[in-house]
A and B are shown apart, each in its own frame.
Chain A
Amino acid sequence: MNIYLPIAAMDINVLWLACAGIAVGFVQGLLGSGGFLLTPILIMMGVSPAVAAASGINAIAGASVSGTFAHLKAGSVDVRMGLLMLVGGISGGALGTDIVRMLRAVGNLDLVILACYVIFMGVIGVTVFVEGLASHVQGEPQARVESRLQRMLQRLPLQMRFRVSGVETSALTPFLLGGFVGILAALMGVGGGFILIPAMAYLLGMPMRVVVGTSLFQMLFTAGSVTLMQAATNHTVDVALAGILLVGSALGAQLGARAAQRLRAAQLKVVFSVLVLAMAVKMLNGLLTTPAALLMELGGR
Chain B
Amino acid sequence: MRGRWLAVGLGVLVCCGPRQAWGQDARDDAGPLSSLTVSDRDIEVTPRYSGELVRVRGTAARGCDVVVRLSAPGEAVTFSRMGKVGPFWLSLGRVQFGNVPSMYKVKSTRPLLSILSPQEQLRYHLGFRGLRASLTVQDEPESELYLNQLITVREAAGLYAVDDTGVTLDGERFATSFFWPAGAPPGRYQIQAMAVRNQRVIGVRSVPVEVHEVGIEAFISALARAHGILYGVFAVALAGAVGWLMNLLFETVRRKGRRPPPGRFIPTKGV
Contact = CB atoms under 8 A, between A and B. Distances in A.
Interface of A: 2-4, 6-7, 9-11, 24-25, 28, 32-35, 38, 58-68, 70-71, 73-74, 76, 106-108, 111, 115, 191, 193, 212, 215-216, 219-220, 224, 227-233, 235, 237, 239-240, 242-243, 246-247, 249-251, 253-254, 287-298, 301
Nearest to A112: B90
Interface in B223-266: 224-225, 228-229, 231-236, 238-244, 246-250, 264-266
The A contact surface, by secondary structure, is helix
Closest 10 CB pairs of A and B: A62-B239, A107-B80, A231-B232, A107-B91, A64-B270, A250-B246, A228-B232, A66-B247, A232-B228, A63-B271
Most B C-beta atoms less than 10 A away, residue of A216, A227, A253, A294: A294
Contacts of A33: 269
Given A107-B94, A228-B236, A291-B89, A298 B78 contact: yes
A4 B182 CA distance: 8
A228 B268 CA distance: 26
Given A25-B271, A293-B82, A296-B80, 16 more contacts: A4-B46, A6-B213, A7-B224, A28-B271, A35-B271, A60-B270, A60-B271, A63-B243, A74-B266, A228-B229, A232-B229, A239-B238, A254-B250, A290-B84, A291-B89, A298-B79
Contacts of B61: none
Interface in B73-96: 77-84, 87-91, 94-95
Contacts, number: 220
Contact of A191 (B81, B231, B271): B271
Contacts of B228: 231-233, 235
B209 to A, nearest CB: 18
Interface residues of B, number: 66
